[in-house]
A and B are shown apart, each in its own frame.
Chain A
């Protein structure tokens, strides 16, 4: 069994209205040191085999085909 964590984040320069709303909520709560917030998504995926190389290929493929919209999002795959 392979466990992986995929993190999908908006690319630099792409406006993140949700991140901005969260940043302003943190300011309301008096967290004065917050210089910016970017919101992303996390996918924890379990694979039913233990072939690491195959897992890396499959996970990248999942990101390309569905999990990330590569027009606006970056993704990072971490096998844990």
Chain B
């Protein structure tokens, strides 16, 4: 499955994402600049990386989400193409209306940059099938606005439909997110947004490889 990475001014984890994909697949992924209006038909996974698109002016991800490439990402998602948004990428997918809720300023008001423990709540998605249900993995976080919020009705729907994919393991919630939510999928299950950075934990030099299975799942590299 061919991966592509979205580039917007102000994103700064694009290189980490490109390096992670290259490490895992041995090939450089395609990159899509903000002015692209179409996602090539052979792309099966679109990744929106982290950073500070357009300086996070107005709200995190708000301006980037209105760029042509994000409309193309929405169209691709509607066709069933897998979409992964990490950190600012998650904020962008929410602002683009591909995922519900909002990401607010961390409850502590501090920028957090450390490793947390993530619980795989749903190991039955295209992104997590190479993990075990309930498995706890390490994953770095680095964000100022990762405090997930959704109204009660949306939360109940996310819970009821098993759309909460990752939770911060007990005692490691870094941002005050409702119900310890770290990552969710859309109703169809082909769009995943998450605050932690799996791309920063894919080779032993990173200090661990817990993020690798996510990319192997999403790229159909290993059958679960």
Contacts and interface: CB of A to CB of B under 8 A. Distances in A.
Contacts, number: 37
Interface stretch (A15-23, A27-35, A46-54): A15-23
A17 B107 contact: yes
26 contacts: A14-B104, A14-B149, A15-B104, A15-B107, A15-B149, A17-B104, A17-B105, A17-B107, A17-B108, A17-B109, A17-B147, A18-B105, A21-B109, A65-B66, A66-B58, A66-B62, A66-B66, A67-B58, A69-B59, A69-B95, A69-B102, A71-B100, A71-B102, A71-B149, A71-B150, A71-B151
A18 B109 contact: yes
Interface in A25-80: 65-67, 69, 71-72
Interface of A: 14-15, 17-18, 21, 65-67, 69, 71-72
B106 interface: yes
A15 B109 contact: no
Most chain B CB inside 10 Å of its own CB: which residue of A18, A65, A72:
A72
A21 B106 CA distance: 12
A10 B107 CA distance: 15
B136 to A, nearest CB: 27
Interface residues of B, number: 20
Contacts of A17: 104-109, 147, 176
A72 B58 contact: no
